[in-house]
């Protein structure tokens, strides 16, 4: 079986996405992670275009890669400048990479309107650049920019650009859908014509402007492409590039093609999250294969079925891509959801237990009030313990007060909170400031409790979300607060609902503390 080679361009194309900016250290760390994943080619950037890309090639050479080859990216020589005198071409040589990818124009519109040169001269740029580099570079890719649009506009000329690259010694010819507007139905006829004229291996590089990047890539592979280009999580300019986190599992699990190993595939979710972290981007839960919701089940009928056989509502086993099955709880839940979550939490309950009916009733009633437990499973576990009579009371609230004061128009507001709690027979009063009323309340609550429960020093408030439930009521509307907390071992979510945002925040904060104490101080 022929192997499909994976070419990652996260560090270049991915870095061109809006709101994404990788530091040099980020790029090195991502490259090493991609190597662990088994990626065959890692495009590091455009040497000479900026100091960071140039430095990357120097730094990555100090690391031993076990699977990947590093590729430098650049364009054909400039018009009227010989290849051996072109600074950009010479920068590619100076990058000392075993692979160089040259991008050249294959659309006559771009040759005319962007380069302002003749069609014949563009062919010379492609040929001369690759011909000059080939004696020094073991492997050269030619990215035929805008190839599919070029073919549709002038098929004879688009093919000529590929022939120029092939004749000059390019090892792989990559067909690019740079504007991302090509449909999967258009690709077969174009691809078959290319195969009649080009003997070198073909690759595919697609963009996602029409939401077709992954589909177009898979179609190209089915037609004989032996290299696929894309980015982790589909990062890229405009609407992004083809998403390797979908392409690789599709190749491996659906088409049964050799690309990376089974063990490497199990790391793909981890790599997806890793790149999101370094890009400072929130992970999209609904991303296929690697998203948090990819194997999450909410409807009671669905849950009942997957408990009997996961294949009923899962197209693959989630562990194959490093993911996990999740059962959600909401007002659409049935007994199956409750029983599943009880098993997950280690709560002794069966289908005939009266607590199941009570929990379902309580759940639906609370969600009707505005509570949401899909992102607050810590609160839901406490609700289940309450129904079973196993929720412990670690402290009693006697009262709290929050003050927000602004002393001068040009100064920041000051937030201060005071809490009064009772632990056993001891009354504790604590005050603390914060950068907002909720932060101040959180700090005061911890200060009051940490002397009794030092385990709480490990807890950090990771995320805080506020949702107005009925905008039409304006400032009288109910507010839902979702808090994500964590320690060095795990994360958990809690929820609170009230017309008063401070009260809603307090409910979620107390549940967060309670959850930690229940987890640590088991009977």
pLDDT at site 329? 62
Domain end call among 338, 365, 388:
388
Tokens representing 284 are 């999209």
pLDDT at site 110? 95
Q: What whole-number distance in Å separates Cα of residue 406 and Cα of residue 267?
A: 50
* Backbone phi and psi for residue 143, each to the nearest 5 degrees, phi listed first: -90, 110
pLDDT at site 304? 78
Other beta carbons less than 10 A from residue 238's beta carbon: 13
Residues 416 and 358 in one domain: no
42 in Cβ contact with 76 (< 8 Å): no
Q: Is residue 285 part of a domain?
A: no
Q: Does the pLDDT at position 188 exceed 90?
A: yes
Residues 101 and 213 in one domain: yes
Q: Is residue 175 part of a domain?
A: yes
pLDDT tens digits for range 242-288: 999 999 999 999 999 999 999 999 999 999 988 988 888 878 989 99
pLDDT tens digits for range 1-29: 579 999 999 999 999 999 999 999 899 99
Contact partners, residue 106, CB within 8 Å, separation at least 6: 144, 145, 146, 147, 150, 151, 157, 158, 161, 162, 176
Q: Does the pLDDT at position 523 exceed 60?
A: no
134 in Cβ contact with 169 (< 8 Å): yes
pLDDT at site 385? 83
Tokens representing 118 are 């003749």
> Greater confidence, 150 or 51?
150
Residues 150 and 42 in one domain: yes
> Greater confidence, 164 or 482?
164
7 in Cβ contact with 34 (< 8 Å): no
Model confidence at 517, pLDDT cuts 50, 70, 90, reads very high
Q: Is residue 93 part of a domain?
A: yes
Query: What one-character DSSP code corresponds to residue 389?
Result: T
Residues 123 and 240 in one domain: yes
- 3-state DSSP assignment of residue 462: strand
Q: Is residue 289 part of a domain?
A: no
pLDDT at site 229? 98
Q: What is the pTM of this model?
A: 0.73
Q: Is residue 287 part of a domain?
A: no
Measured on CA atoms in the order 45, 50, 51, 54, is the torsion positive or negative?
Answer: positive
Q: Does the pLDDT at position 391 exceed 90?
A: no
pLDDT at site 468? 81
pLDDT tens digits for range 83-121: 999 999 999 999 999 999 999 999 999 999 999 999 999
Residues 212 and 266 in one domain: yes
Residues 223 and 140 in one domain: yes
pLDDT at site 473? 65
DSSP lists the bridge partners of residue 145 as 105
- 3-state DSSP assignment of residue 291: coil
Residues 11 and 108 in one domain: yes
pLDDT at site 299? 74
Residues 424 and 338 in one domain: no
Q: Does the pLDDT at position 454 exceed 80?
A: yes
Residues 235 and 155 in one domain: yes
pLDDT at site 373? 74
Domain end call among 356, 372, 388:
388
Model confidence at 472, pLDDT cuts 50, 70, 90, reads low
Q: Is residue 228 part of a domain?
A: yes
User: What's 195's domain CATH number?
Assistant: 3.20.20.70
Domain end call among 279, 313, 331:
279
Query: What one-character DSSP code corresponds to residue 471?
Result: G
Q: Is residue 36 part of a domain?
A: yes
Residues 272 and 300 in one domain: no
Q: Does the pLDDT at position 430 exceed 70?
A: yes
231 in Cβ contact with 223 (< 8 Å): no
pLDDT at site 90? 96
Residues 235 and 98 in one domain: yes
Q: Residue 215: which H helix or E strand, with range?
A: helix 213-222
User: What's 492's domain CATH number?
Assistant: 3.30.160.270
Q: What whole-number distance in Å separates Cα of residue 253 and Cα of residue 264?
A: 13
pLDDT at site 474? 63
Q: Is residue 483 part of a domain?
A: yes
Residues 93 and 152 in one domain: yes
325 in Cβ contact with 297 (< 8 Å): yes
Residues of the domain holding 437: 396-520
Give the β-pairing of 227-230 and 5-8. Answer: parallel
The total of structural domains in the chain comes to 3
pLDDT at site 135? 97
HSE of 236 in the Cβ direction (CA atoms, 13 Å)? 26
């Amino acid at each position: 079986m022929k192997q499909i080679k994976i070419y990652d361009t996260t560090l270049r194309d991915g870095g061109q996405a809006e709101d994404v900016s990788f530091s040099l250290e980020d790029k090195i760390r991502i490259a090493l992670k991609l190597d662990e994943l088994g990626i065959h080619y890692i495009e590091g950037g455009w040497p000479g275009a900026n100091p960071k890309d140039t430095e990357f090639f120097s730094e990555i050479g100090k690391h031993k890669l076990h699977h990947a080859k590093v590729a430098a990216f650049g364009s054909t020589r400039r018009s009227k400048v010989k290849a051996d005198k072109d600074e950009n071409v010479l920068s590619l040589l100076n990058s000392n990479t075993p692979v160089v990818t040259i991008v050249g124009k294959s659309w006559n519109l771009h040759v005319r309107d962007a380069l302002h040169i003749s069609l014949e001269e563009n062919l010379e740029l492609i040929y001369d650049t690759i011909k000059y580099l080939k004696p020094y570079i073991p492997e050269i890719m030619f990215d035929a920019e805008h190839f599919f649009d070029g073919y549709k506009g002038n098929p004879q000329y688009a093919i000529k650009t590929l022939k120029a690259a092939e004749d000059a010694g390019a090892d792989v010819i990559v067909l690019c859908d740079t504007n991302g507007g090509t449909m999967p139905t258009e690709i077969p006829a174009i691809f078959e014509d290319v195969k009649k004229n080009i003997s070198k291996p073909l690759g595919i590089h697609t963009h996602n402007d029409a939401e077709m990047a992954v589909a177009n890539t898979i179609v190209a592979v089915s037609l004989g492409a032996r290299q696929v280009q894309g980015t982790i999580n589909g990062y890229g300019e405009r609407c992004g590039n083809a998403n390797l986190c979908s392409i690789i599992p599709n190749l491996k699990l659906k088409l049964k093609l050799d690309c990376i190993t089974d063990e490497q595939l199990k790391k793909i979710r981890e790599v997806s999250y890793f790149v999101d972290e370094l890009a400072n981007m929130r992970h999209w839960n609904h991303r296929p294969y690697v998203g948090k919701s990819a194997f999450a089940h909410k409807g009671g009928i669905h849950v009942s079925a997957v408990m009997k056989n996961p294949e009923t509502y899962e197209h693959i086993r989630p562990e194959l891509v490093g993911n996990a099955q999740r059962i959600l709880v909401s007002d659409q839940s049935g007994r199956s959801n409750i029983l599943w979550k009880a098993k997950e939490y280690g709560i002794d309950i069966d289908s005939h237990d009266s607590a199941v009916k009570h929990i379902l009733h309580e759940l639906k009633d609370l969600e009707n009030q505005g509570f949401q437990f899909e992102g607050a499973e810590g609160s839901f576990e406490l609700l289940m313990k309450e129904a079973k009579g196993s929720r412990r009371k670690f402290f009693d609230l006697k009262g709290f007060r929050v003050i927000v004061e602004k002393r001068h128009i040009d100064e920041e507001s000051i937030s201060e909170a005071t809490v009064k709690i009772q632990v056993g027979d001891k009354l504790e009063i604590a005050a603390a400031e914060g950068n907002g009323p909720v932060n101040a309340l959180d700090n005061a609550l911890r200060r009051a409790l940490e002397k009794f429960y030092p385990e709480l020093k490990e807890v950090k408030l990771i995320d805080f979300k506020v949702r107005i439930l009925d905008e039409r009521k304006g400032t009288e509307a109910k507010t839902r607060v979702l808090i994500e907390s964590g320690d060095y071992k795990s994360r958990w979510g809690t929820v609170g609902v009230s017309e008063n945002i401070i009260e809603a925040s307090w409910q979620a904060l107390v549940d967060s503390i309670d959850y930690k104490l229940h987890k640590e101080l088991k009977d």
